[in-house]
Structure 1
Amino acid sequence: MNSPVSSPALPTYADVVAAHERIAPFVHRTPVLTSAYLDALTGASLFFKCENFQKAGAFKARGASNAVFGLSAEQAGKGVATHSSGNHGLSLSYAAGRRGIPCTVVMPRTAPQAKKDAVKGYGGRVVECEASTSSREAVFAEVVAETGAEFVHPYNDPRVIAGQGTCSRELVEQVEGLDAVIAPIGGGGMVSGTCLTLSPIAPGIRIYAGEPEQADDAARSFRAGHIIADDSPETVADGLKVPLKELTWHFVKNHVTDILTAGEDEIVAAMQLVWKRMKIVIEPSSAVPLAAILRNPDIFRGKRVGVIVTGGNVDLERLPWGRS
């Protein structure tokens, strides 16, 4: 895992521009929504970039589509494979299905059933593993040895990061005068894509990341100055349990202003607020940025803030506030 050949090259903003053109037929240009109630509550002007309305229900359709449709015919012939807690896996299955190639996804057995079902619904194959990074990577190695498929990493992949960068490229076209953008952080693919896009075209915009307190390895890495990886953190934000890798760490350490954490109750409360006040379905991971804003109002008060809502794939049988 640590050998030099395993470290892919850094993507550039030119890769984002190329990705935007490549994936345009396969993804939505998602809307930006506002809420007067949440503006009043936070003291900021919030602009929610709603990737919960994206193909496959999450921003990861962008990076997955860029990777799949950038493959040569020879590479595509063997199919693609990945490990994922859900959204990247189902997004890769979506993209592979659009191209007509096989897709295998290694998923924690504890991943939401809705996400497992979505992978299968898009034609992908699910192989389950234990809920730890070490188990995920070990089982995945077996899958690649068996299939010879092209590995599309959920976030430590320049093709994926460039694809995710298209989200903030749209956001700055849709909303003028942003002071800051905040996105959830787990492995850091969306945050890295945001940095990749905004640092050259809107360097005045501050970039923040929101992270669960119970899975705060990125925040601790940021403060320590090197990657700290937790193997199996427990948080309601199931999409944010994975650690940073070398590519995403590069963008985080060089371009992120701060990583702000939120507690489990705060994440659930923020999720409920969005459901109730904005009438849209978001998953717990997507609620972390709003929870972080509510915990740190002084940072954002009076500012125009882009909030990236990363996905809306929720298991309706296991909502974090219980069954009604």
Structure 2
Amino acid sequence: MSATPVSPTIVDAAYLDALFEAIKQAHGALRPAVSVTPLTRSARLSAQTGCEVLLKCEHLQHTGSFKFRGASNKIRLLPIGQRSKGVIAASSGNHGQALALAGKAAGVPVTVYTAASASPYKLEAMRTLGAEVLCLPTDPLSAELEAARQAKVQGVPFVSPYNDPQVIAGQGTIGMELFEQASDLDAVFVAVGGGGLISGIGAALRVLKPGTEIIGCWPENDPALEQSLKAGEIIEVDARETLSDGTAGGIEPGSISFPLCQALVTDTVLVSEDEIRAAMRDIASSERWIIEGAAAVAVAGMQKLAARYQGKRVAVILCGRNIVLEKFLEAVK
């Protein structure tokens, strides 16, 4: 099977099978550069919710988020002749950091376009890892579209944070690890921005553990893909400010993650900013971990739907930790 299934208009079983094969290849090829992150039981959250709660610690991955998986897989699969030309990406921070580190290790120059709303902490982190960062006075989706346009003009690969089967395959290695670490999961809760993470996890578990519910979690203030799934097409959504900056922004027209989410996401849940803050506080209190808003969205989503999973085993993806300390302290006070 090809490591890069061609993006179809409609996702079918053959496409999902090819994506799973790509995930399997990535799962082996990315070691040891990409860490196998712990899956740890939370005694406090389990007691609080009545579920058996397992936390997938992607906040302990290199660069502090799951994004290093997809970025590493994309860089791994770049043709040798293209590597010196570099790549262009758009990112609010985590994807850019991950791509910068993966590119640095492989000698691939990385340019990242970002919106003015991006976290200064994440911008500085991308620059520290060697990326050229171009901050545009616009929203995240517009910055993403401009980055894609510039990549086409300059004749270099554009690395989308979610609209790329090779990136999605890299993220899907989390699903492989979940099955290896806990083969009897009833549900997995995932924060969703562009849909690459939940698509990869869903594609892996569709084969490895059919019947596992894949629950997409969004902040009420910015549920672009959730609203698009309800509408049956990619639509624009009026967004408000959210602590979950890692999931913020609209969806690129024609994104492969949209039909993948249609095929793979079992259910959706929206959480408020207060619920996000409370989840950040719960993880800090019970596990002694700092997590960013996007990771807390998944925790809050699990807490909101906990009554449905009494006595069942669920995993929550703690997708990242990259948040300014002052912002974190303000959120959990």
Fold-level match, TM-score > 0.5? Answer: yes
Q: Could you list the runs of 5+ residues in structure 1 that have no partner in the other structure?
A: 1-6
Measured in 2, the distance between the counterparts of 1:141 and 1:260 equals: 30
Measured in 2, the distance between the counterparts of 1:225 and 1:162 equals: 24
Amino acid paired to 1:247: I
Measured in 1, the distance between the counterparts of 2:219 and 2:309 equals: 19
1:315, distance to aligned residue in structure 2 (A): 1.0
Q: Could you tell me which residue of structure 2 aligns to residue 256 of structure 1? A: 265
Q: 2:165 aligns with which of 158, 164, 171?
A: 158
Distance 1:322 1:41, change over 3 A: closer
The reply on whether 1:309 has 2:318 as its aligned counterpart is yes
Distance 1:178 1:81, change over 3 A: same
Q: Report 1:1-324 matches (<5 A).
A: 8-9=7-8, 12-141=19-148, 143-144=150-151, 147-230=154-237, 232-245=239-252, 246-319=255-328, 321=330
1:272, distance to aligned residue in structure 2 (A): 1.1
Q: % of aligned pairs identical?
A: 37
Amino acid paired to 1:8: S
1:39, distance to aligned residue in structure 2 (A): 0.6
Q: How many residues align?
A: 318
Measured in 1, the distance between the counterparts of 2:208 and 2:152 equals: 41
2:327 partner SS: coil
1:228, distance to aligned residue in structure 2 (A): 2.4
Amino acid paired to 1:181: V
2:204 partner SS: helix
Measured in 1, the distance between the counterparts of 2:306 and 2:230 equals: 21
Measured in 1, the distance between the counterparts of 2:279 and 2:27 equals: 31
Measured in 2, the distance between the counterparts of 1:55 and 1:96 equals: 13
Residues 89, 148 of structure 2: 8 Å contact kept = no
Measured in 2, the distance between the counterparts of 1:322 and 1:305 equals: 26
Measured in 1, the distance between the counterparts of 2:230 and 2:329 equals: 30
1:131, distance to aligned residue in structure 2 (A): 4.4
Q: Could you list the runs of 5+ residues in structure 2 that have no partner in the other structure?
A: 1-5, 9-14
Amino acid paired to 2:263: N
1:321 partner SS: helix
1:298, distance to aligned residue in structure 2 (A): 1.9
Measured in 2, the distance between the counterparts of 1:12 and 1:276 equals: 38
Q: RMSD of aligned C-alpha atoms?
A: 1.9
1:147, distance to aligned residue in structure 2 (A): 4.5
1:130, distance to aligned residue in structure 2 (A): 2.9
1:318 partner SS: helix
Measured in 1, the distance between the counterparts of 2:92 and 2:34 equals: 21
1:23, distance to aligned residue in structure 2 (A): 1.4
Measured in 2, the distance between the counterparts of 1:267 and 1:158 equals: 30
1:321, distance to aligned residue in structure 2 (A): 2.2
1:29 partner SS: coil
1:15 partner SS: helix
Deviations 1:230-271 (A, max 9, x none): 365421100111334531111211121111010001001101
Measured in 1, the distance between the counterparts of 2:141 and 2:75 equals: 26
Q: Could you tell me which residue of structure 1 aligns to residue 12 of structure 2? A: none
> With structure 1 as the length reference, what TM-score do the two structures score?
0.92
> With structure 2 as the length reference, what TM-score do the two structures score?
0.90
Distance 1:228 1:119, change over 3 A: same
Measured in 2, the distance between the counterparts of 1:134 and 1:30 equals: 30
Distance 1:42 1:323, change over 3 A: closer
